Amino acid sequence: MNKALSTSAWVAVAVLGAGAVGVVAVRRGEPINALWLVVAATCCYALGYRFYSSFIAAKILALDSRRATPAERLENGRDFVVTNKWVVFGHHFAAIAGPGPLVGPVLAAQFGYLPGTLWVLAGAVFAGCVQDFVILLFSVRRDGKSLTEMAKEEIGVIGGVVAYAAVVAILIILLAVVALVIVNALKDSPWGTFTIAMTIPIALLMGLYLRRIRPGKVLEVSALGFILVLLAIWGGQWASLNPVVAPVFTLRAQTLAILIIIYAFAASAVPVWLLLAPRDYLSTFVKLGTIGLLGIGIVALHPTLHMPALTRFVDGSGPIFAGKIFPFAFITIACGAISGFHSLISSGTTPKLIARETQTRMVGYGAMMCESAVAVMAIIAACSLQPGVYFAINSPAGLVGQTATAATSTISGWGFSVTAADMQHLARAVGEQTLFNRTGGAPAFAVGMASIFSQSLGGETLMALWYHFAVMFEALFILTVLDAGTRVARFMIQDALGHIYKPLGRTSWYPSILATSALIVAAWGYFLWQGVKDPLGGINSLWPLFGIANQLLATVALCVATTIIIKMHRTRYAAVTLVPLLWLVAVTFTASWQKILDRNPRIGFLAQARVLAEGPATTATARLIFNNRLDAAVTAVLVVMVALVLIESVRQWIGVLSGREESRVKESPFVMTRLAEDLR
Amino acid sequence: MRQSGMSRFAKAVRIVLATLREIFDEAAYERFLSRTRTPSSIKAYAAFREEFEEARTRRPKCC
């Protein structure tokens, strides 16, 4: 009876999901309600988790709850700690959820809501969740080893070196692109800039409070910090209206870029407890609360999606970034569908906390599903805007025109009606001087989120506060990524340099700290500066570069996973990681090819350099030509490195399958658990 | 025995709090105090941060 009931329930979920996906995919010409996306996503995740992840767990990974995990065998109260599965789940989700699933889907909405939604759902269920799950389990079976170490052991030295280089490259490009997003959100915005500037003394105050007044009371100080941040948002309005203060915080993009570079260098060099840790706590506190609030808001208010399912820009002529749906939608949305970066977290802290192998399914597969749900929320927030408004915010002035009239005329000419008066009214409602040319995705997401919330809470009178809350929330996220990413990259460089000259590897030696911090900040700062000076807004070049780098890391992770699956004699099921791997190879290699060699100067870096060289020479021409050639070279180097890993992996697979090479996985030996049944 | 609605709710609250304490490193600090058998103090927290910081800041945070 129970089985019949359960079967009927799952059939109902499948029918409902198919119906909702059908509505999302087929409906044309009239706006649809956001609830269709919510229902489609919920049903897809439920079915994926219940059936696909359990198939992987049983048939491929053979999860064994009797096998002691590293958290139990190596428990030391520091890195290895047996932890409740829900706690590990929350911890893992907090680590994987950053600004990526909010920004990427907003940018990809230029194609309409359909391509992004389908990729987020299918990509997460069949690729992203699978990657996070299998890498987590393989790391658990190898004493919590990192992806780089596993790549070295299972594929060979080339795998390890490429994984390492890819991580450093991704960090540099990631930091540049997120810094550019924040610059574009804050330029000429005294309210936003004041609020974000205030988070620095707030974080310092929190650091001192934790260190001197209430040691260890992080939740308490985070709640206090949150209240201060809310006051800073409120104070931002005053600052933006004050004739003396407002000009101080009204900054151009170049000035903001310089300030962010200086800030990141300082944050990387000062003690962690003073700035980085409290900001991280504050950001996590705001992040978890806001994501929850946004989810509730979308379900309760279920806005209408005004963006069509497909826009005219599927032909590759999009104003936000150039290129067709294939491959560019699939590299623009990484976090939310599949992100190589997650494999670093699945082989970082999380495997050292897992109490039971069987919990890797919920933590690895389940947390990625939640991240994917955040991406669906971002799609809803962006697509609930009127398309004309969406394009006016996200299109660079170099493309649509420098004045409000020129921009609205260009955008209306595309068939997305918008007027200068509409934009002026909206800008005033959110407390900004203008919303034109705010590329990067964050402002569009903030306007969408503010519009959704203001429908029920406070109406237009509170819209400005909601908008600046959303900007603050994203900027806080991004500054945390900048702080932490710069430091992580610094440690990686120090580790490598330590092999050449030992003192350089010492993370407490100040000459090394300053030199490596400067090196990392200079590297991403260069790309940031390039983006700020780019007449097409920078996002057009940098976001695809970041997407390619991130997806190439996912390619490395899936190579490692497929190699291990073949070595485990589960070749008949290798398609589970091999198909996503082949898809990513197709996507990233095509995108790289087009970004380097496409004849359209808006797509190909070299074509853009050629056009600049043939055009009228200005003071900036030589630098722009060099930047385009540099971007082409970086893309080429990344692709060649990953091609090497791919070749090395295929060589391993052929060797193992033909019996020429020994099929031995490098797992830790089986040890029977001693933990009680309820922890299994 | 089936749990009552109230006890299920209490358990859920406990798990949420435990999750927050883990994310915010309060649990790690408590483990440090119990491992080193020291009471919480400014000095103990400074020692905890010193031991904990490098490992913590090596953790990547996703985009």
In a domain, A663, yes or no: no
CB distance A87–B29 less than 8 Å? no
A656 near A567, Cβ under 8 Å? yes
Domain count, chain A: 1
Q: How far is Cα A264 from Cα A197, in angstroms, rounded to an integer? A: 13
CB distance B24–A222 less than 8 Å? yes
**Bond before A201 cis per omega within 30 degrees:** no
Nearest in space to A169 (alpha carbons), one of A477, A540, A546? A546
Q: Is A491 on the interface with B (CB under 8 A)?
A: yes
What is the amino acid identity at position A92? H
pLDDT at residue A132 in the model: 97
Phi-psi region of A209 (alpha: psi -120 to 50; beta: other; left: phi over 0): alpha
For residue B34, the chain A residues in CB contact (below 8 A) are: 77
Instruction: Name the 3-class secondary structure at A344.
Output: helix
Phi-psi region of B60 (alpha: psi -120 to 50; beta: other; left: phi over 0): beta
pLDDT at residue A611 in the model: 95
Q: Is A480 on the interface with B (CB under 8 A)?
A: yes
A392 near A316, Cβ under 8 Å? no
pLDDT at residue A160 in the model: 84
CB distance A507–B32 less than 8 Å? no
pLDDT at residue A678 in the model: 59
B23 near A287, Cβ under 8 Å? no
In a domain, A558, yes or no: yes
For residue A99, the chain B residues in CB contact (below 8 A) are: 63
Q: Is B13 on the interface with A (CB under 8 A)?
A: no
Looking up residue A146, the CATH number of its domain turns out to be: 1.20.1740.10
What's the length of chain A?
A: 680
CB distance B15–A98 less than 8 Å? no
pLDDT at residue A422 in the model: 95
In a domain, A154, yes or no: yes
CB-CB: which of A81, A284, A285 is closest to B31?
A81
pLDDT at residue B2 in the model: 59
Q: How far is Cα A383 from Cα A337, in angstroms, rounded to an integer? A: 18
Q: How far is Cα A561 from Cα A578, in angstroms, rounded to an integer? A: 9
CB-CB: which of B19, B40, B54 is closest to A216?
B40
Range of the domain at A457: 2-61+75-188+251-658
pLDDT at residue A495 in the model: 84
In a domain, A114, yes or no: yes
Angle at A270 between CA A78 and CA A282, to 5 degrees: 65
pLDDT at residue A679 in the model: 55
In a domain, A639, yes or no: yes
- The ipTM value here is 0.86
Q: How far is Cα A588 from Cα A565, in angstroms, rounded to an integer? A: 23
For residue B42, the chain A residues in CB contact (below 8 A) are: 211-212, 215
pLDDT at residue A595 in the model: 96
CB-CB: which of A87, A276, A481 is closest to B63?
A481
Q: Which residues contact A634 (CB under 8 A, 6 or more apart)?
A: A169, A173, A545
CB-CB: which of B24, B49, B59 is closest to A348?
B59
A42 near A648, Cβ under 8 Å? no
In a domain, A672, yes or no: no
In a domain, A282, yes or no: yes
Distance from the Cα of A111 to chain B's closest Cα (Å) equals 22
Give the bridge partners for A354, in sequence order. Answer: A83
Q: Is B57 on the interface with A (CB under 8 A)?
A: yes
pLDDT tens profile A117-152: 999 999 999 999 999 999 999 999 999 999 989 999
For residue A488, the chain B residues in CB contact (below 8 A) are: 57-60
In a domain, A237, yes or no: no
**DSSP assignments along chain B, one per residue:** -PPPHHHHHHHHHHHHHHHHHHHTTHHHHHHHHHHHT----HHHHHHHHHHHHHHHHHS----
Phi-psi region of A242 (alpha: psi -120 to 50; beta: other; left: phi over 0): beta
Q: Is A348 on the interface with B (CB under 8 A)?
A: yes
Q: Which residues contact A129 (CB under 8 A, 6 or more apart)?
A: A48, A49, A53, A364, A365, A366, A368, A369, A372
pLDDT less than 50: residues of chain A = none
Distance from the Cα of B25 to chain A's closest Cα (Å) equals 7
CB distance A97–B52 less than 8 Å? no
